[in-house]
Amino acid sequence: MDQKMKNSEFHKFFIDELKDLYWAEKALVKELPKMQKAATSKELAKGFEKHTAETEEHIATLEKVFESIGEKASAVKCEAMAGILEEGKSIIEDTKSDTLTRDAGLILAAQKAEHYEIATYGTLRTFAKHMGHTEAEKLLSQTLENEKATDVTLTKLAESFINEGAAEE
Binding site for Fe ion (CB under 5 A): 25, 55, 58, 117, 147
Nearer residue to Fe ion within complex by CB, 35 or 100: 35
- Closest distance between Fe ion and the C-beta of residue 54, in Å? 7
Map the chain to HEC letters.
Answer: CCHHHHHCHHHHHHHHHHHHHHHHHHHHHHHHHHHHHHCCCHHHHHHHHHHHHHHHHHHHHHHHHHHHCCCCCCCCCCHHHHHHHHHHHHHHHHCCCCCHHHHHHHHHHHHHHHHHHHHHHHHHHHHHHHCCCHHHHHHHHHHHHHHHHHHHHHHHHHHHHHHHHHHCC
65 to 52, 82, 85, 136: CA distances (angstroms)? 20, 22, 24, 5
Nearer residue to Fe ion within complex by CB, 25 or 103: 25
Nearer residue to Fe ion within complex by CB, 11 or 147: 147
- Closest distance between Fe ion and the C-beta of residue 146, in Å? 7
- Closest distance between Fe ion and the C-beta of residue 108, in Å? 15
Residues 6 or more apart whose CB falls under 8 angstroms from that of 105 comprise: 91, 92, 94, 95
Nearer residue to Fe ion within complex by CB, 27 or 104: 27
- Closest distance between Fe ion and the C-beta of residue 110, in Å? 8
- Closest distance between Fe ion and the C-beta of residue 132, in Å? 25
| Residue number with the smallest Cβ distance to Fe ion | 58
Nearer residue to Fe ion within complex by CB, 55 or 101: 55
